[in-house]
Amino acid sequence: MTGLSTALHVPASLSVSPINSWFPGQRLFYALLSAFMDLDLLQVSAPGLAYICLGGFVVLFSMVSLLVKEKLYINEVVLGTGFGIFIGPYFANAFTPREWGPLENTITLEVMRVVLATGLFAVGVELPCAYMKEHAKSLLIMVVPTMAFGWVVVAGVIQALFPGLNYISSLCIAACLTPTDPVTCAAITRGKFATKHVPVNIRRILSAESAANDGLAYPFLAISIYLTVETSVRTALGKWFLVGWLYQVILGTALGAVLGLLFSKLMKISHKKGFIDRESYVAQYLALSIFTIGIASTIGADDLLAAFAAGSAISWDGHFNVQTEDDVFSSVIDYVLNCGCFIYIGAWLPFDAYNSPEYGITPWKLVLLMIAILVLRRIPPLLALYRFVPEIASWQEALFSGHFGPMGVSAVFVSNLALTRLPTPEHPPANQAQYLAATIQPIVSFIVLGSIIVHGLSIPFFSMGRGVHSRTVSLTMTWTSRNRVIVPDWVLGARNAPNTVESTAEEDLERGSTKIPQDTDESTVNTPDTASPGVAVTVAAEGVPGDTDSVVTRRHGRGKNDSSPERVKVEAVNDHAGQDDNQIQSVRFPFAQ
C-alpha cells in the first residue's frame, strides 16, 4: 500500500486515511494527476494561448452576436479590440505580440496584409457590376483631393504638436492616417442600422472609397520616406514617380485586374464544362486574394490595390456574383479574420509609449491630435466637393461621409511598412530618420485606438437619437376578413423562400442584378386549402434618397375557393433618378383571380 501511495503522490492530508477508504473517483483522479505530472504534459505556450483567446472570443461573442450587433449596434471591431487589450501585456499578460522578438514587426505586417487583402477583395466582389467604371468620377473626387487635403493638414498638426518632428517626418506619419480602413468601415456599410438609415448609394461609395484609398496610401508614404532617407530631393522625387506611382500603383492595379479577368474567364469555362462546384467559387474569396497579394508583394507592386482590382474584375460581368449568391461562407471568413485581427491590435497597442516625454509624446497632445484629425481630415474637403459627387445629395450626407473615415487595420499596416524602410532607432535617436522610427507607432496606434472607439461607437449613439437619415415605411392593407395580419420586422430583410412570391430589391441591387421579377399566376404558387384569407399588402419605402433596399412583397396564402381579388405592389422612392441603372422604381405583380 505504501508503494501504491507513493506512486500516486498522495497528499499529506489524505495519507492518514487508508487508501482503501478512498472513493473510486478519488483514486482515478490522483492516478491521472500523477501520470499528468510525470509525463510533463502541461505545456503553456504563446500559440496555445493565442488559439484559446481567439477561439474563445469568437465562440462567446457568437452566442450573443445578434443581441450585440443588431440591437446594440456594437460589432466585433470594438469588442475584439477591448478583449485584446484585456488579454494583452498590460492586464492579463496572456497574449503579448510585442514580446515575440525581432520578427514581431514582420508578423504584424503580414497579419494586417492578409486581413486587408481579403476585405478589399470582398469589397470589389460585392460592388455591382462595372461599378468602378460607372462611378469613376465620383471616386476620383472623393479619393484624391480628400486624401491629399487630409495628408497635408494632419501633417501640419503633427508638426505643431510634436516639434521634434520636421514636416517631412510629419508627412510620413500622416500618410499612415490618410487611408480609410475598409474593415472598420464595414460597420457603416453593413448591418441593420446601415440598411435602415444609410442610403444605398452612400454605402456603396464609402465601401469603394475605403478600398481605393487604402492602396493609394503607398504613394503618400513613399514620397515621405524617400524625402527622409534620400540626400537629394531630385532623387527622391524621381523614385517616387517611377517606383511609387508607375510601378507600385499602376502595375499593381493592372496586375490585379488581369488576374481577376483571367480567373473569371477560366471559371466560366470550367463551369460550362462542369468541372467546378459552388464551394470552389466561394473559396476564391480567400484563395485568389492571397494569391494576388503573393504575386504583387513578390514583385514589389501595390498588393492592396491589386487585391481590390482583382475582386472588381472577377465580378465585372456578374457571373461570379450569381454563383456565390446567398452564400455566407465568405462572411464567416471575414468575421473570423476581423475578430482575430482586432484582438491582435488590442494586445499590440503600446500603452507605455503614450507617455514618452523624451520624444515629446504626452497623452494630452495625443488627445488633441485625435480631435484635430476627426474635425479636419475629411469633413472640410467633402463639404466643399460633395456637389460634384452625385451619390451625395446634401451637406448632411457629406458630413456623415466625412465623419465616417475610420482608421484601423490599414493604419497599422502602413506604419509597420514604414518601419521596414526606416533605420532601427537608437536611444537617443541619432538623426531625424531614427526619431521618426521611434515615434511613428506610438502616435499612429493611439489614433487607431481613438478611431475604433469613436467610429465604432458612433452607430449606437446615432441609434439613440433621430439617426442619420429619417425613414418612413407605410403599410397599406386591404382586408377580406376580420383576421388581423401583422407584418413582422424581419419581412423587410426576408430572402427567397419556397411557396412565396417575393421581390427583394436590396438583394438584386447589392448583387448588381438588373433582373425584374416576372408576373406570376396562381399555377406557380402552392397554396394550401386551409390557408388564411388573402391579404393584399403594399410596402413602400419613402424618403430614402437613392435607397431601394429592404423593399419586399410577399403573397400571403389564399384558399383555392377564395375568389377575392389579390394584388401586390412594390414602390421604391428614388430621389437620384438616373444615377444608377439598377434602381427599381415600380414593380407590379398582377395575380389571376
In the chain (593 residues long), the average pLDDT of successive 10-residue segments reads 42 46 62 68 76 88 85 86 93 88 89 92 87 89 92 95 94 93 76 76 89 86 87 87 89 94 91 86 86 93 92 88 75 84 94 93 96 95 92 90 90 93 88 93 96 86 56 38 38 36 40 41 40 40 40 38 41 41 40 38
Angle (deg, nearest 10), helices 167-177 and 432-456: 30
Q: Residue 570 forms beta bridges with which residues?
A: 539, 587
Q: How many residues does the chain have?
A: 593
Q: Are 296 and 290 in contact (CB under 8 A)?
A: no
**How is residue 331 written as a grid cell?**
462572411
DSSP state at residue 493: G
DSSP state at residue 536: E
CATH class, range 46-468: mainly alpha
Helical H runs in 127-135? 131-134
What does the alpha-carbon distance between residue 236 and residue 61 come to, in Å, rounded to a whole number? 48
The per-residue pLDDT for 318 is: 84
Compute the Cα dihedral for 201, 203, 205, 208 and give only its sign.
Answer: negative
CA distances 240 to 136, 171, 218, Å, are: 24, 14, 10
In sequence order, what are the residues at sequence separation of 6 or more whose Cβ sits closer than 8 angstroms to the Cβ of residue 438?
359, 425, 427, 429
Reduced to 3 states, what is the DSSP secondary structure of residue 473?
strand
The per-residue pLDDT for 463 is: 66
- Which one-letter amino acid corresponds to residue 88? G
DSSP state at residue 99: G
In sequence order, what are the residues at sequence separation of 6 or more whose Cβ sits closer than 8 angstroms to the Cβ of residue 188?
194, 198, 203, 206, 404, 455, 459
Q: Are 336 and 58 in contact (CB under 8 A)?
A: yes
In sequence order, what are the residues at sequence separation of 6 or more whose Cβ sits closer than 8 angstroms to the Cβ of residue 262?
none
Angle at 468 between CA 463 and CA 470, to 5 degrees: 95
Kindly report the number of other CB atoms within 10 A of residue 59's CB atom: 9
What does the alpha-carbon distance between residue 15 and residue 132 come to, in Å, rounded to a whole number? 78
Q: Do you find a cis peptide bond into 381, omega within 30 degrees of 0?
A: no
Question: How is the chain split into domains, by residue range?
Answer: 46-468
**How is residue 522 written as a grid cell?**
396562381
What does the alpha-carbon distance between residue 219 and residue 414 come to, in Å, rounded to a whole number? 11
If residue 297 lies in a helix (H) or strand (E), which one and from where to where?
helix 278-299
Q: Are 90 and 351 in contact (CB under 8 A)?
A: yes
Q: Are strands 536-542 and 552-554 parallel, antiparallel or unpaired?
A: unpaired
If residue 476 lies in a helix (H) or strand (E), which one and from where to where?
strand 472-478
The per-residue pLDDT for 113 is: 93
Reduced to 3 states, what is the DSSP secondary structure of residue 541?
strand
